[in-house]
């Protein structure tokens, strides 16, 4: 079984669980993960500092590549990990100063 198939099977088994996979308290939504999840407080502060303009509208337009990289790193969404390398390459082209550090 290839990696995509195994990831898909793992996700299918938990498709009805809509709780945040990190804190197990909030809803598993972008709004919760970007703005409310207590488990992401420290990395979120670093992201706030880097972006300045931290509204959902800016995250999905103006800062889409940075927000996507951050989401892939911290949201614990296994099935999206397949695409992480593509986003890393794109980020390196657009932001040669480096990627966000995990846990800072």
DSSP assignments along 64-89, one per residue: HHHHHHHHHHHS--GGGGGGHHHHHH
Tell me what the mean pLDDT of segment 37-61 comes to: 90
Query: Which of 28-32, 43-47, 63-67, 99-103 shows the lowest per-residue confidence on average (mean pLDDT)?
Result: 99-103
List the domain boundaries for the chain. 3-94
Region 2-25: mean pLDDT is 63
**Which residues, 6+ apart, have CB-to-CB distance to 104 below 8 Å?**
42, 43, 46
Over 70: is that where the pLDDT of 1 sits?
Answer: no
Q: Is the pLDDT of residue 16 over 90?
A: no
Is residue 5 scored above 80 in pLDDT? no
């Amino acid at each position: 079984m290839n990696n995509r198939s195994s990831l898909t099977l793992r996700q299918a088994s938990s498709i009805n669980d809509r709780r945040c996979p990190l804190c197990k308290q909030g809803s598993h939504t972008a709004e919760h993960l970007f703005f409310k999840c207590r488990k992401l407080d420290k990395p979120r502060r670093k992201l706030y500092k880097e972006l300045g303009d931290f509204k959902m509208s800016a995250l999905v337009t103006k800062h889409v590549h940075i927000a996507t990289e951050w989401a892939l790193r911290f949201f614990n969404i296994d099935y999206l990990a397949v695409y992480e390398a593509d986003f890393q390459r794109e980020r390196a082209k657009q932001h040669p100063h480096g990627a966000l550090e995990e846990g800072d």
